[in-house]
Amino acid sequence: MYELLIVLPVLLFSMVAHEYAHGYAALKQGDPTAKELGRLTLNPLKHIEPFMTVLRPLAVFFGSGGRVVFGGAKPVPVNPRNYRDPRRGDLIVSSAGIVTNAVLALACLVLAIAVGAMAGAIPATEGVLAVVQRGLFWGVWLNLLLAFFNLIPIPPLDGSHLLYHVLPPQWAARYRAVGRYGVFALILLILIAPQVLYGLLTPAFALQGVACHLAAPYTLRPFPLCAI
């Protein structure tokens, strides 16, 4: 339960930041849909979806013995027809959430190292800073996971939009036509072929290992995901 109290706020913020980035990028590309519907906000209450944001993270956390947690926020609505340049707008909006999670992962790593260095300089603060650093380590991992999971080219994930625009027109049309079944393909991937999913997330695991290595001299308490 102690770990869960650290993890859930970090996961919620990371998911909300991802969706906010989509809405903000869409606004800059000419689509005010998210803003008009009150979704262009970091207020988590506006982005919570009962299953993806609450039940799934809890189920994954307890099902993995507290080693893994994952979830999603309610997608921010966008209307690509409002983009000034539909192709460019879709590429920017689709990649905005992924880029945001990648930047957050890097920021959390830098802050985790800084917190560890501060605790070394002021030993009396180590107890409190160890808790802060643990949350930051979770921030590194969860944002890497969100970034690379959303890069998977299965609709409705962001990676499907990016792939669509690099395919030849005829292939792209067929790809979009079968996109309506993407949710079912994603569910099957998670439930029936988890090893394939882990393979697709290999870059996240690799970068997590790099982060653990860089932060090792400043780590105040062992972080279990550094042993993955």
Domain ranges of the chain: 2-220
Give the residue numbers annotated as catalytic, written as ranges. 19
Q: How many Å separate Cα 17 from the centre of its chain?
A: 9
- pTM reported for the whole predicted model: 0.90
Residue range 13-28, pLDDT digits in tens:
999 999 999 999 999 9
Cβ atoms of 148 and 198 closer than 8 Å: no
Residue 66, CA distances (Å) to 3, 130, 193, 225 in order: 7, 18, 22, 10
Q: What angle, 0 to 180 degrees and rounded to 10, lies between the N-to-C axes of helices 126-150 and 202-215?
A: 160
How far apart (Å, rounded) are the C-alpha atoms in residues 3 and 66? 7
Nearest alpha-carbon partner for 97 in 161, 51, 53, 52: 161
Please, what is the average pLDDT of the chain?
A: 88
Residues above pLDDT 70, as percent of the chain: 92
Q: What share of the chain is helix, strand, coil (3-state, %, to 5)?
A: 75, 0, 25
